[in-house]
Amino acid sequence: MKITLNFAGINTPAAAQEYLARALAFPDYYGKNLDALYDMLTEWDRGGTFALRFPADPAPEMAAYLPRLRRVFRDAAAANPRLRVQDR
């Protein structure tokens, strides 16, 4: 299963976390931060490939956040054999 996550038009880390919570149907207790995202992804049992789509010219607040977000997905995929990550 391929899950495309498109961050175009998302201008803040908080908005990115809200998007992830909805798109990935995380439970209400999801902490909406990068540590919580890592925890959710390493426990992800549905398998699949996450296709990450980041804007070429992100909002200023997102410019430093997107590489950290990418790293969390990659680190989680390294820890969870059911996950793969594609990004461009």
Which CA distances in Å does 30 have to 36, 40, 62, 65?
6, 8, 21, 19
Beta strands in the chain (DSSP E): 2-6, 48-53, 83-87
Its domain, for residue 73, covers 2-87
> Rounded to an integer, what distance in angstroms lies between the CA atom of residue 76 and that of residue 48?
12
Residue 50 sits in a domain whose CATH number is 3.30.370.10
The number of folded domains in the chain is: 1
Q: What pLDDT is stored for residue 87 in this prediction?
A: 75
pLDDT band for 88, please (50, 70, 90 cuts). low
Q: What pLDDT is stored for residue 26 in this prediction?
A: 97
Strand-by-strand arrangement of the 83-87 sheet = 2-6, 48-53, 83-87
Q: What pLDDT is stored for residue 47 in this prediction?
A: 87
pLDDT tens column, 4-58: 999 999 999 999 999 999 999 999 999 999 999 999 999 999 989 999 999 999 9
Q: What pLDDT is stored for residue 81 in this prediction?
A: 96
